[in-house]
């Protein structure tokens, strides 16, 4: 960390890229950002647009060229991207080479290939949590409300389900209600998982626990599960019970704002260990 000369931020949407920029400004580290045409843009992007290059999502070689021109030494990936069809992407030669390195076109293999490629190009790849460790989800009950016995059982079932699915590189989140797994996160992302499962809860049309955890062997430098204020707002809007996240292996963004939403709406929020314990 002490040898960082300039940080390159590969940015998607949401609050995390903005948090990385603020970290660079606070620590007086120069930075340059790359974001992508047709993809979600970082929060407050207009404030630092002069430090940003916008490229096509498949222009891998151009990303490297841009960072080398800007004398970047370290790269961090931050923010969410919409997952387009691989058949619709227009890759340059570097992108095609990278795709061929991944036997399966799943998240883990693709992101590991990206990480390896960037390292081979002379960059040091950092996790967002390495720059700003305060964003890591701590273990413990963070909200005023506690999960009851039934909800605690649901979160334990969720963790068990994710542990079994992780070897298949499927999802970082599940929704469980009254012992039933209502849904597993697919390419649609967490918000749409929450929306989809809200239609499957029966006549009472409320309740359910969102559980998030990293997959086995997941490269947390480039793909760490996250929740934030938008997650809690969606859970509150659709009358869920709360969220449990594997502590130390996920990010909790905009924590103060998120917990205000949780406490106002009676949601529980906890960081748990592999056995579902938060105490």
Distance CA 239, CA 241 (A): 7
Task: Name the 3-class secondary structure at 67.
Answer: helix
Distance from C-alpha of 137 to C-alpha of 247, rounded to nearest angstrom: 5
Q: Which domains does the chain have, with CATH numbers?
A: 7-133 (3.40.50.20), 136-272 (3.40.140.80)
pLDDT of residue 167: 77
Whole-angstrom distance, CA of residue 81 vs CA of residue 222: 13
Give residue for tokens 């605690």.
Answer: 152
Query: 148 with 266: CB under 8 angstroms?
Result: no
Listed ranges 29-33, 48-52, 268-272; the one with the highest mean pLDDT: 268-272
| Confidence (pLDDT) at 86 | 44
174 pLDDT more than 90: yes
Predicted TM-score (pTM) of this structure: 0.84
Which helix (H) or strand (E) segment is 209 a member of? strand 209-212
C-alpha distances in Å from residue 164, one per residue of 2, 11, 158, 181, 217: 39, 31, 10, 13, 13
- The predicted model gives 200-216 an average pLDDT of 90
Dihedral, CA atoms, 180, 183, 184, 190, nearest 10 degrees? Answer: -130
* Mean residue pLDDT across the chain: 87
% of the chain residues with pLDDT over 90 = 57
Beta bridge partners of 212: 173, 245
239: exposed, middle or buried (C-beta count within 10 Å: 0-12, 13-18, 19+)?
A: middle
What pLDDT, on a 0 to 100 scale, did the predictor assign at position 171? 79
User: Two tokens at 63?
Assistant: 């990303």
- pLDDT attached to residue 61: 85
């Amino acid at each position: 960390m002490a040898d960082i000369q300039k940080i390159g931020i590969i940015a998607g949407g949401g609050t995390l890229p903005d948090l990385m920029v603020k970290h660079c400004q606070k620590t007086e580290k120069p930075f340059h950002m790359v974001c992508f045409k047709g993809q979600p843009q970082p929060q407050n992007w207009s404030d630092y647009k002069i430090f940003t290059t916008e490229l096509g999502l498949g222009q891998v070689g151009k990303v490297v060229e841009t960072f080398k021109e800007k004398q970047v030494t370290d790269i961090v990936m931050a923010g969410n991207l919409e997952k387009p069809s691989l058949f619709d992407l227009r890759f340059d030669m570097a992108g095609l080479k990278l795709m061929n390195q991944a036997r399966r076109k799943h998240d883990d293999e693709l992101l590991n290939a990206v990480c390896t490629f960037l390292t081979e190009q002379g960059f040091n790849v950092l996790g967002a949590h390495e720059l700003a460790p305060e964003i890591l989800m701590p273990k413990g009950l963070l909200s005023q409300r506690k999960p009851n016995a039934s909800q605690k059982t649901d979160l334990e079932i969720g963790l068990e389900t994710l542990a079994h699915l992780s070897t298949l590189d499927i999802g970082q989140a599940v929704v469980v209600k009254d012992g039933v797994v209502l849904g597993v996160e697919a390419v649609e992302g967490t918000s749409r998982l929450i929306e989809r499962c809200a239609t499957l809860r029966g006549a009472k049309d409320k309740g359910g626990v969102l559980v998030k955890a990293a997959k086995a062997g997941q490269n947390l430098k480039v793909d760490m599960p996250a929740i934030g204020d938008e997650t809690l707002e969606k859970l509150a809007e659709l009358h869920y019970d709360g969220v449990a996240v594997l502590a130390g292996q996920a990010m909790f963004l905009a924590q103060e704002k998120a917990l205000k939403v949780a406490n106002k709406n009676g949601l529980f929020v906890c960081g748990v260990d592999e056995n579902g314990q938060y105490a």
